[in-house]
Amino acid sequence: MVALLLVLVMAGCGGGEARIVAPPGVTRTGCGTVRIAVNPWVGYAANVAVVSYLLRTELGCTVLETDLTEDQSWQGLAAGTVDVILENWGHDDLKKRYIDDRKVAVEQGLTGNKGVIGWYVPPWLAKKHPDITNYKNLNDYAELFRTGKSGDRGQFLAGDPSFVTNDAALITNLGLNYQVVYAGSEDALITAFRQAETNRTPLIGYFYTPQWLLSEIPLVHIPLPIYKPGCDADAKTVACDYQPYDLDKIARKAFVDSGTPAADLIKNFRWTNNDQNAVARDITVKKLTRDAAAKRWLDAHRPTWQKWLPPK
């Protein structure tokens, strides 16, 4: 079952009641309850930490955070159980279904984060075997990556099975002698890459940015055939690198149309990869709570987040 976390903090706006001015044609309401989908990677959790903290402390909202996969999050928008997805990676098929056809969701602008998915190896391995970063040479190294889970093929380590991935099709269509094996989660994937670098063990796998680990271990990207629009349209025949993403936000249309000031804050929310990585690292490495990590960033970046607040 999906875990549901009820955030009980209902702080007011600070120094007394403030009138929030509605845009033309919309009657401004109180903030009420905001239901945020939480997808299973820490960068997304960093978005939630900061946005949720501001919704509660600046606008007096009640926030419900629900752990969901990406597909489940979109389904929640349609079912009315999710109000916002704070980091969407493409999903043109879901945009067509829920925004264009069913008209139950709307785009809420870019997050400011640039998303890049790809294949990576630990730095020590790229230094020892420089030609391994050419995908055409990967079959020469397949034996090096064999594990008990990959049999007589090289192991390619993926993360959470729910993540956006073309790896199995890419391996087949590029004629590579590898087998996709799932680490199971983002945490397990990070642990595997950290151990591979520390212990100098061979590893090739799926990774992405923004991700705080890359500031600690500069994983080496293996370029695949250059991405061109449409080259990944058929998942069975894809033979090109991943699309670079301008990550965006998606909201339930009825939520946006309700007049809640929360929709304005969410639409205005925009930061950088470095911002997200700083909060994500505080959550993961320093073991801060989401609220503590959010407050640490917010205290240091007041001019940035004050621009996200709706007019009072």
Query: Which CATH number is 295's domain given?
Result: 3.40.190.10
In terms of residue numbers, what domain contains 173?
A: 125-222
**From CA 72, how far away is CA 136, in angstroms rounded?**
37
Whether residue 232 lies inside any domain: the answer is no
Using pLDDT thresholds of 50, 70 and 90, give the confidence band for residue 28: low
Tell me what the mean pLDDT of segment 201-213 comes to. Answer: 95
Query: Which CATH number is 175's domain given?
Result: 3.40.190
Whether residue 171 lies inside any domain: the answer is yes
Beta carbons of 208 and 115 less than 8 angstroms apart: yes
Residues 70 and 144 in one domain: no
How confident is the model at residue 255, as a pLDDT?
A: 97
Residue pLDDT, tens place only, 232-286: 988 889 999 999 999 999 999 999 999 999 999 999 999 999 999 999 999 999 9
Residues 263 and 290 in one domain: yes
Whether residue 311 lies inside any domain: the answer is no
Residue (of 301, 262, 296, 303) closest to 280 by Cα position: 296
Q: What would you report as the CA-atom Rg of the chain, rounded to the nearest whole angstrom? A: 21
Q: Please provide the average confidence, as pLDDT, over all residues in the chain.
A: 90
Which residues contact residue 142 at a Cβ distance below 8 angstroms, ignoring those fewer than 6 apart? 153, 154, 176, 177, 178
Beta carbons of 123 and 196 less than 8 angstroms apart: no
Residue pLDDT, tens place only, 140-179: 999 999 999 999 999 999 988 888 789 999 999 999 999 9
**From CA 27, how far away is CA 22, in angstroms rounded?**
6
Which residue among 207, 222, 237 closes a domain?
Answer: 222
Neighbouring C-beta atoms of residue 107, cutoff 10 Å:
14
Q: What end-to-end distance do the CA atoms of the chain give, in Å? A: 40
User: What burial class does residue 75 get, using C-beta atoms within 10 Å of its C-beta: 0-12 exposed, 13-18 middle, 19+ buried?
Assistant: middle
Residues 138 and 213 in one domain: yes
**From CA 190, how far away is CA 148, in angstroms rounded?**
20
How confident is the model at residue 15, as a pLDDT?
A: 32
pLDDT at residue 25 is higher than 80: no
Residues 89 and 67 in one domain: yes
How confident is the model at residue 305, as a pLDDT?
A: 97
Residues 217 and 256 in one domain: no
Whether residue 238 lies inside any domain: the answer is no
Tell me what the mean pLDDT of segment 222-231 comes to. Answer: 94
Whether residue 80 lies inside any domain: the answer is yes
Residue pLDDT, tens place only, 112-126: 999 999 999 999 999
Residues 63 and 207 in one domain: no
Residues 9 and 56 in one domain: yes
Whether residue 256 lies inside any domain: the answer is yes
Residues 162 and 195 in one domain: yes
Q: Give the total number of structural domains in the chain.
A: 2
Whether residue 184 lies inside any domain: the answer is yes
State pTM to two decimals. Answer: 0.81
Whether residue 241 lies inside any domain: the answer is no
Beta carbons of 70 and 164 less than 8 angstroms apart: yes
Strands 154-158 and 178-182: parallel
**From CA 298, how far away is CA 231, in angstroms rounded?**
40
Residues 27 and 82 in one domain: yes
Residue pLDDT, tens place only, 43-87: 999 999 999 999 999 999 999 999 999 999 999 999 999 999 999
